[in-house]
């Protein structure tokens, strides 16, 4: 069962966050699960949190244009 602080944080985030927010807990995993570990629960939690982070970045962050894209944009604006 989640502790009271996590439940309260989840309620607060759902109420005030400007975008959809989901608080994820990993039962049985310590707070430093993102560091190198040999524990299977911590490895699974670390993989899951990183996968969620990458998915969020792919969805919300626009990548920088490549040098070729920049050259094309410059060429188009010069015409």
pLDDT at site 30: 75
pLDDT in tens, 15-40: 999 888 888 888 888 777 667 777 77
CB atoms within 10 A of CB 41: 14
Percent of the chain with pLDDT over 90: 16
The dihedral sign for the CA sequence 17, 63, 51, 42: negative
Cβ within 8 Å of residue 33, ≥6 positions away: 26, 41, 42, 45, 46, 49
**Whether the predicted pLDDT of 51 surpasses 80:** yes
Sign of the Cα pseudo-torsion (48, 50, 53, 57, in order): negative
Query: Residue 2: which pLDDT band, with cuts at 50, 70 and 90?
Result: low
Number of compact structural domains in the chain: 1
Q: Identify the pLDDT of residue 34.
A: 66
Name the residue range of residue 52's domain. 4-78
């Amino acid at each position: 069962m989640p502790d009271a602080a996590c439940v309260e944080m989840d309620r607060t985030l759902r109420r005030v966050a400007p975008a959809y927010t989901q608080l994820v807990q990993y039962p049985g995993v310590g707070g430093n699960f993102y560091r190198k570990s040999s524990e299977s629960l911590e490895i699974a939690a670390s993989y899951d949190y990183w996968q969620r982070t990458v998915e969020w970045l792919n969805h919300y962050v626009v990548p920088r244009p490549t040098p070729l894209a920049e050259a094309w944009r410059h060429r188009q604006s010069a015409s």
